[in-house]
């Protein structure tokens, strides 16, 4: 035993000395800005992008000119940091994305737009997500009855679409309204504090994705890390902050100090300026769509694939089935619409894709419709109101291919990605005139817009849209950008925040 211990001890001592020298070298580089020497070791089939987590330990990469590069002890896969050399950036861009709004293993279908944008951005630069999970003492006793109880099962670390995700347990006040809302940002930051030591020296810029409390907590975290930060708003967050006066000072402070404030539509950029963002730093970066999924497709084939009625017209709703999404106005408008179609003889079906608190009301309306109709009119065993529940993005694409138009009567919105996806699929949109929807839907060319909470106007617009012959060329002109194009614009903004216009690291 003694002999074995004496044999092992020198190896452990050497390993400890190596680690100490590596830590000292890292501190020297951070202090002086010195670059690490390029590695000459051959790659050995490891995921070198993830290996940066052991920074500055031993890492391997091919010599310069190979498919994998090393710069300042940072490695990356082929294709990552596209455009780095052309733009003159001093090193590969490293982004810390801070948000509560991100899918996980318990809620894999949530926030599909953010998941797609992050996946596209991770193909251009290195991204890691710090996702806050709501938590309070005793939440495990609630079981699966509440969302926080279900989220207990989310792992501390995960990887989604190749993007490393760290789930931080952030304290929260259950049912906190607008009066207690200012407490959420400090509580959010408290959940992130344990991760600060391991985040130091590993990133160039912090992005807070969602205006409150995410962006406010990201601003405080960035100051602790000595990094510049950017703020990205999506729409609903802007609407909430505009109503809640108690959080406006916090949001205004975060926006004024941000390297850039990003909105996904022109009205949203204007709202960010009104909330305190400097006009010269408020920037438009539109969300994209997956063009491989959302494109004009054969309607009949899609209906056969989904088991939807082949005869008649279909109006489709995609989203959270809630009161705020205008689901009751849509049901009322559909009742008034009857079975009128373009020629007055075809039945009209309403398909609801999504889940939420009002799904039971939708199912009751569907059952009532079935009872009122003769068995011969049911057609293929389905009623005229069809609730299919939440579906993955690939199934949503098939539903948009199968439909005649998309209906979205929300009370408030940002720029809903489902509207962009419908336009990419060459399907007209009947929606409310709220948020960024008028920025992407041209009335009479790609859809119709109505006032919110007006079931009568919605019913008339649905009837008109079903009767109109739409020009497919108009949809081609209004096609939204791809996620790759959106990620490229976002990457350049973040690199400018991190390195400045002249390519040097920002202070």
Domain ranges of the chain: 34-77, 93-288+484-499, 299-480
Cα 365 vs. chain centroid, distance in angstroms? Answer: 32
- The CATH code that applies to domain 93-288+484-499 is 3.40.50.2000
Query: 225, 198 in Cβ contact below 8 A?
Result: no
Superfamily of domain 299-480, CATH level 4:
Glycogen Phosphorylase B; (3.40.50.2000)
Residue 449 has what DSSP assignment? E
Please report the beta strands in 290-439, taking only residues with DSSP state E, as ranges in sequence order.
Answer: 313-318, 348-353, 385-389, 405-408, 429-432
Q: How far apart are CA 54 and CA 75, in angstroms?
A: 11
Q: Which residues of 290-301 are buried (b: 16+ CB within 10 A; e: fewer)?
A: bbebbbebebee
* pLDDT for the residue numbered 38: 43
Cα 200 vs. chain centroid, distance in angstroms? Answer: 25
Of 402-406, 407-411, 414-418, the poorest mean pLDDT is in: 414-418
Span 83-118, pLDDT tens digits = 555 566 777 899 999 998 888 888 887 888 889 999
Say which residues have a Cβ less than 8 Å from residue 504's Cβ, sequence separation at least 6: 90
Q: What is the β-pairing status of strands 69-71 and 74-76?
A: antiparallel
Q: How far apart are CA 425 and CA 28, in angstroms?
A: 54
Cα-atom radius of gyration of the chain, to the nearest Å?
26
Q: How far apart are CA 241 and CA 250, in angstroms?
A: 10
* pLDDT for the residue numbered 110: 81
Q: What is the β-pairing status of strands 157-160 and 163-171?
A: antiparallel
Residue 105 has what DSSP assignment? S
pTM for this predicted structure: 0.78
Q: How confident is the prediction for the chain on average, in pLDDT?
A: 80
Say which residues have a Cβ less than 8 Å from residue 337's Cβ, sequence separation at least 6: 348, 459, 462, 463
Report residue 65's pLDDT band, with 50, 70 and 90 as the boundaries. Answer: very low
Residue 140 has what DSSP assignment? G
Report residue 77's pLDDT band, with 50, 70 and 90 as the boundaries. Answer: very low
Q: How far apart are CA 329 and CA 327, in angstroms?
A: 5
Q: Which residues of 465-501 are buried (b: 16+ CB within 10 A; e: fewer)?
A: bbeeebeeebbeebbbbbbeebbbbbbbbbbbbbbbe
Residue holding tokens 């950008």? 481
Please report the beta strands in 304-436, taking only residues with DSSP state E, as ranges in sequence order.
Answer: 313-318, 348-353, 385-389, 405-408, 429-432
Q: What's the mean pLDDT in 372-401? A: 76
3-state helix, strand, coil in the chain (%, to 5): 45, 15, 40
Q: What is the β-pairing status of strands 385-389 and 313-318?
A: unpaired
Query: 93, 81 in Cβ contact below 8 A?
Result: yes
For the cut 80, the answer to whether the pLDDT of residue 465 exceeds it is yes
Q: How far apart are CA 156 and CA 32, in angstroms?
A: 34
Q: Which residue has the higher pLDDT, 432 or 101?
A: 432
For the cut 80, the answer to whether the pLDDT of residue 284 exceeds it is yes
* pLDDT for the residue numbered 43: 35
Q: How far apart are CA 283 and CA 490, in angstroms?
A: 10
Does the fold of domain 299-480 match that of domain 93-288+484-499?
yes
Cis peptide, bond prior to residue 213, ω within 30 of zero: yes
Query: 62, 38 in Cβ contact below 8 A?
Result: no
Say which residues have a Cβ less than 8 Å from residue 165's Cβ, sequence separation at least 6: 102, 104, 128, 129, 131, 157, 158, 159
Report residue 137's pLDDT band, with 50, 70 and 90 as the boundaries. Answer: low
* pLDDT for the residue numbered 6: 39
């Amino acid at each position: 035993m003694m002999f074995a211990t004496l044999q092992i001890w020198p190896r452990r001592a050497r390993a400890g000395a190596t680690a100490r020298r590596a830590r000292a070298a890292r501190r020297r580089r951070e202090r002086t800005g010195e670059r690490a020497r390029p590695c000459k070791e051959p790659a050995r089939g490891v995921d070198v992008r993830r290996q940066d987590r052991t920074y500055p330990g031993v890492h391997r990469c091919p010599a310069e000119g190979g498919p994998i590069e090393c710069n300042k002890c940072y490695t990356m896969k082929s294709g990552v940091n596209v455009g780095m050399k052309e733009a003159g950036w001093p090193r590969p861009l490293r982004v810390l994305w801070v948000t509560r709004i991100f899918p996980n293993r318990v809620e894999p279908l949530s926030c599909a737009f953010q998941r797609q944008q992050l996946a596209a951005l991770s193909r251009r630069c290195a991204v890691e997500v710090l996702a806050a999970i709501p938590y309070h003492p005793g939440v495990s006793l609630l079981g699966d009855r509440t969302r926080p109880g279900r989220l207990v099962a989310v792992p501390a670390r995960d990887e989604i679409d190749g993007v490393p995700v760290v789930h931080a347990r952030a304290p929260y006040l259950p049912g906190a309204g607008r009066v207690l809302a200012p407490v959420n940002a400090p509580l959010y930051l408290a959940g992130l504090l344990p991760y600060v030591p391991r985040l130091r020296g590993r990133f160039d810029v912090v992005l807070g994705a969602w205006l409150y409390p995410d962006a406010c907590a990201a601003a405080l975290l960035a100051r602790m890390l000595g990094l510049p930060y950017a703020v990205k708003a999506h729409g609903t967050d802007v609407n909430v902050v505009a109503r809640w006066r108690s959080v406006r000072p916090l949001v205004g402070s975060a926006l004024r100090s941000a390297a850039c404030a990003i909105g996904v539509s022109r009205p949203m950029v204007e709202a960010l300026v009104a909330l305190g963002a400097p006009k010269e730093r408020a920037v438009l970066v539109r969300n994209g769509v997956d063009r491989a999924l959302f494109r004009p497709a054969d309607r009949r084939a899609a209906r056969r694939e989904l088991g939807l009625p082949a005869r008649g017209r279909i109006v489709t709703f995609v989203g959270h089935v809630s009161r705020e999404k205008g689901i009751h106005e849509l049901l009322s408008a559909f009742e008034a619409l009857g079975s009128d179609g373009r020629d007055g003889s075809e039945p009209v079906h309403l398909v609801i894709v999504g889940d939420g608190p009002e799904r039971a009301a939708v199912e009751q309306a569907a059952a009532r419709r079935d009872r009122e109709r003769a068995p011969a009119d049911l057609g293929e065993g389905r009623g005229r109101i069809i609730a299919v529940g939440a579906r993955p993005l690939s199934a949503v694409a098939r539903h948009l291919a199968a439909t005649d138009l998309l209906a979205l009567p929300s009370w408030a919105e940002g720029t809903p990605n489902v509207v962009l996806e419908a336009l990419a699929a060459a399907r007209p949109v009947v929606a409310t005139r709220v948020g960024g929807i008028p920025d992407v839907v041209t009335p009479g060319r790609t859809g119709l817009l109505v006032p919110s909470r007006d079931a009568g106007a919605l019913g008339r617009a649905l009837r008109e849209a079903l009767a109109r012959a739409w020009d497919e060329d108009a949809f081609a002109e209004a096609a939204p950008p791809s996620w790759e194009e959106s990620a490229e614009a976002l990457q350049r903004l973040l690199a400018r925040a991190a390195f400045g216009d002249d390519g040097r690291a920002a202070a």
